Amino acid sequence: MVQIRPASVLFVVLSTVSVLLTGGILRSSEQELPALRRNAEQCLTPPYCSDGKLNDSGEPINMNYFTANEDKETNHLLNLVEIAHTNRVLPQISNNDWGGALSDIKYTLNRFPNHPRGLLLMALYARLIKKYALVIPYYEKAIRLYPEYPLTYAQYGAYMVTLGNVDYGIKRLQQAVQMNPELVFAHVWLAAAYQKSGNMEMSRQSESKARALGYTGAISIESLQNAPPAK
């Protein structure tokens, strides 16, 4: 198990992504993805939320992060989950409490499968313990349950790029910008992904779109990946 000094959690979050980008730790192939997607079925079996409320179509309505503020009870649940579980993860990692960290990440994502920070934390955990495929079923679950949110596609695509599966990551990032052309960090990540693939013309085009939307920072996967997204 990786040992992390409690001194700088932020350093852990940022440097882990950088190491993956520069070192090429894992190279997932297109052929591996179907098996990884099959594993996502395990995340869809009950009890992923023992007291979930369903609408008339049988869809869970109190597990969607992006609509939580539309329902008082669900918004209260989200606040409780974040206070009691999500916000505890980074301190636990910094103190090498790996079991506690994983338990709280899983609880967050069981309650709110498309929770952006929960997905980022699971990705961080997977990188630190060098089990890089651990997070993939959770992204697949989030997209399957709630396929309408471009942020999830963008995060998933950025993660796959960090694993070295650049082509698949680009596809997911392209989906994100098609769904929401004003999702600035999707353009940033897409520019970085194209740069990594060697397609500098497409990288410049994506960077231009990001700049036109007001982005002034560096073009890299990690540049915005660790910022907690707004609802």
Higher pLDDT, 164 or 14: 164
Higher pLDDT, 45 or 84: 84
pLDDT at 98 over 50: yes
Q: Residue 53: pLDDT band by 50, 70, 90 thresholds?
A: low
pLDDT at 202 over 80: yes
Total domains present in the chain: 1
- pTM reported for the whole predicted model: 0.74
Is residue 230 domain-resident?
Answer: no
Is residue 192 domain-resident?
Answer: yes
Is residue 117 domain-resident?
Answer: yes
Q: What is the pLDDT of residue 90?
A: 95
Higher pLDDT, 33 or 186: 186
pLDDT at 10 over 70: no
* Span 135-168, pLDDT tens digits: 999 999 999 989 999 999 999 999 999 888 999 9
91: domain range?
9-225
**Interatomic CA distance for residues 169 and 167, integer angstroms:** 5
Is residue 231 domain-resident?
Answer: no
Is residue 2 domain-resident?
Answer: no
| Of residues 188, 180, 154, 182, the one with CA closest to residue 169 | 154
Q: Which two tokens stand for residue 114?
A: 């498309």
Is residue 215 domain-resident?
Answer: yes
Is residue 27 domain-resident?
Answer: yes
Among 15-29, 73-87, 151-165, which stretch is predicted with the lowest mean pLDDT? 15-29
> Which CATH number goes with the domain that contains 103?
1.25.40.10
Is residue 216 domain-resident?
Answer: yes
Give the Cβ contact number of residue 57 at 10 Å.
6
